[in-house]
Structure 1
Amino acid sequence: MDVRQLQYFLAVVDEGGVHPAAEKLFVAQPSVSQSLQSLQRDLGAELFTRTGRRLQLTAAGEALIAPARQVLHWMELSRAHVEAVNGLRTGRLVLATMPSQAVDPLPSVIDRFVRRYPMVQISIRAAGTPQTVMSLVRSGGVELGIMAVTATPDAEDLVVHPLTRQGFIVVSCREANLPARGPLTYDQLEGQRLIIGQPGTGMRRVADQVIATNRSTIAVVETEHREAVLPMVINGTGIAIMAEAWRALAREAGLVVHDLVTDERLEASVVHRDVDLSPAARAFLLFAAPAAAPAHSKVDP
């Protein structure tokens, strides 16, 4: 068993098949297949079963994912530490973020980071819920996760660095039957058609509260694609309750934005495993959550 076999194995897991894994790795498909067969022989266990044209992980395959990611993490970490001996110059940082945090505060943090470290590549993976972010971090699929919650998450095994606190807004087209100005209460949304997010998100939690408060308020669309919400509001499909991060984009799109009167708040944070972080990740934390700096070794400023 070698590092390349583990890399190919994880690529198949992450991409959902041998062909997309080969494309991601820029190698021929037979090379990936042969690597998997060799790995299975070395381990003496089947890692995948085939159902039609799909590969399904076996129990042995599931058990290999976390240690395989850990091996690759330590390999990359070793390389990154050596390269950073004379200061952080190059490297790669993989992080996951929820949609609203991808709007704010992530862009401003990335802008400051890449201005300081222009040769460090950042790879961003999408995660729709806090649970998905934490799962990616725990599995080693990403080094840092950015998420926001309205209730305390089950993250005792992770290191959590607070970022920002955000409220909620109501976004509507100009033709919506809503007061022209001022913040809105839950009962002022009586009779509205809501575009709601997926379960497990702050947007969905508050929308469910509004629906429960009003007898004739309904959910007309449920979507996992946060980027589809504003276009649907523009078309008059319904109104949306969104994180405050979307305020500027909604106004730029010509929509009406009201603050929502609610006790709910989104607490945004950066999370990571309680392990030695790469120099790139430590540097990113200095920009995203300066209060985290004392907990980590110094990075070339």
Structure 2
Amino acid sequence: MERRQLEYFLALVEHGGFTNAARVLRVAQPSLSHAIAALETELGGPLFHRLPHGAVLTAAGAALVEPARQVGRDLATATASVREVLGLSGGRLDIVAQTTLAVDPLAAMVGRFARQHPKVGIRVTDPERGSEVGHLVRTGQCELGLVNAAVPTPELDGIELAEQHLLLVLPPRRPESEPLPRPGSGPVPVRLADLAALRLVATPDGTEIRDVLAAALLEIGLTLNVAVETAHRAMIVPLVLAGAGASLLPRSMAEEAAGKGAVLCATEPALSYRGRLVWRSGPRSPAADRFVAMTREHYAAR
């Protein structure tokens, strides 16, 4: 079994057919077909059902996916380690992170790392749910993951990060009837009971900030009043500025909104979330080792 065969196999898995995979790999389709057929002969059975409009994994093919990804990741780690010993720079770091954590604190973490190691390529992947982070790291699709600390990540090593506080972001203009701070009135805290009465712009159930707020309100017997639900997080600040509702955001996003005219308030009690950086046990690439070391030094919970 050759590395090239596994790379071709995984490309077929990811792109769903020989034509698409050959285009992405920049190889001739007959060469791809021959390599997969040779792999199937070596393993003793078909890995794909060949269909008119694509290729679907057989049970045997599905069993190969995770080991193939792990082999690919381990080979990349070995290559990067050798280059590090030889004094070469470069390499790649793949991180999967829930969106809110990607905004704060991961953006600052990646920025610090990129300044120190400008020749390392970094890719950040965004899953739909926090539960997917552990899966993507365990299967070798990403080397590091950043997940809400409340999400279980069995079989993974990790570091808990410092607490991140959330701020309430209100539209620049609101009805006079709302018993909340007006622009220019100062950072008056908003009680959770008052927050529950607001029309909110929120992400779907199962996303980290919505879960934090829903759990806090549930403790006092209240529920969310969601006016607009969107999975497009880039819409949240524009929706707040347009008067669609208020939102709870990480400090960096909240301060950006304030610069555009939104009103910021703390909550009483304060609401926060905490991330955990996770990775598989065993050898890591030099880039991942340095990122973990930097995280321990600058961002870990004290």
8 A Cα contact 1:5 1:35, kept in partner: yes
TM-score, normalised with respect to structure 2: 0.83
Mapped to 1, the partners of 2:272 and 2:227 lie a distance apart of: 24
What is the number of residues matched between the two proteins?
A: 291
8 Å Cα contact 1:114/1:120 also seen in 2: yes
Distance apart, 1:288 and its partner CA: 2.2
- Deviation string 1:78-107 (CA, Å, 9 cap, x unpaired) is 211111114462211111122122222223
Alignment correspondent of 2:266: 259
The answer for the alignment partner of 2:119 in structure 1 is: 119
Structure 1 unaligned regions, length at least 5: 294-301
Deviation string 1:170-199 (CA, Å, 9 cap, x unpaired) is 222112343234121221124422222233
Whole-angstrom distance in 1 between the partners of 2:86 and 2:286:
11
Q: Partners of 1:21 and 1:228 in 2: how far apart?
A: 34
Task: Give the alignment's Cα RMSD to 1 decimal.
Answer: 2.9
8 A contact 2:172–2:243 mirrored in 1: no
Confirm whether residue 250 of structure 1 aligns to residue 270 of structure 2. no
Q: Which amino acid aligns with 2:42?
A: D
Tell me what 1:35 maps to: 35
Residue 220 of structure 1 corresponds to 227
Per the normalisation by structure 1, the TM-score is 0.83
Matched, 1:185 2:187: no
Give the AA of the match of 1:260. Answer: T
2:97–2:145 CA contact under 8 A, matched in 1? yes
Larger Rg: 2
SS of the aligned residue for 1:105 comes to: helix
Whole-angstrom CA distance in 2 between matches of 1:31 and 1:230: 49
Q: Give the match for residue 98 of structure 2.
A: 98
- Judged with a 3 Å threshold, the aligned counterparts in structure 2 of structure 1 residues 194 and 6 are, in CA distance, closer, same or farther, namely same
Partner deviation per Cα, 1:103-160 (whole Å, 9 max, x = no partner): 22223222222222222111221124321211110110000112224x3x32231111
Could you tell me which runs of 5 or more consecutive residues in structure 2 were left unpaired when the two chains were aligned. none
Distance 2:68 2:250 in 1: 36
- Structure 2 equivalent of residue 231 of structure 1: 238
Structure-2 separation of matches of 1:292 and 1:170: 24
1:1-301 paired onto structure 2 within 5 Å:
1-49=1-49, 53=53, 55-87=55-87, 89-149=89-149, 151=150, 153-176=151-174, 177=178, 178-180=180-182, 181-209=187-215, 218-262=225-269, 264-290=271-297
- CA separation in 2, counterparts of 1:257 and 1:118? 35
Structure 1 pair 80–52 and aligned structure 2 pair: CA distance change class (3 A) = same
Distance 1:22 1:190 in 2: 53
How much has 1:12 moved relative to structure 2? 2.9
**Equivalent position SS for 1:134:** helix
In structure 2, what is the Cα distance between the partners aligned to 1:73 and 1:266?
31
Q: What SS class does the counterpart of residue 106 from structure 1 fall into?
A: helix
Matched-pair contact (CA < 8 Å) for 1:190–1:214: no
Cα distance in structure 2, aligned partners of 1:37 and 1:117: 41
Q: Tell me the CA shift for residue 66 of structure 1.
A: 1.3
SS at match of 1:250: helix
Q: Out of 125-134 and 283-292, give the one that drifted further.
A: 283-292
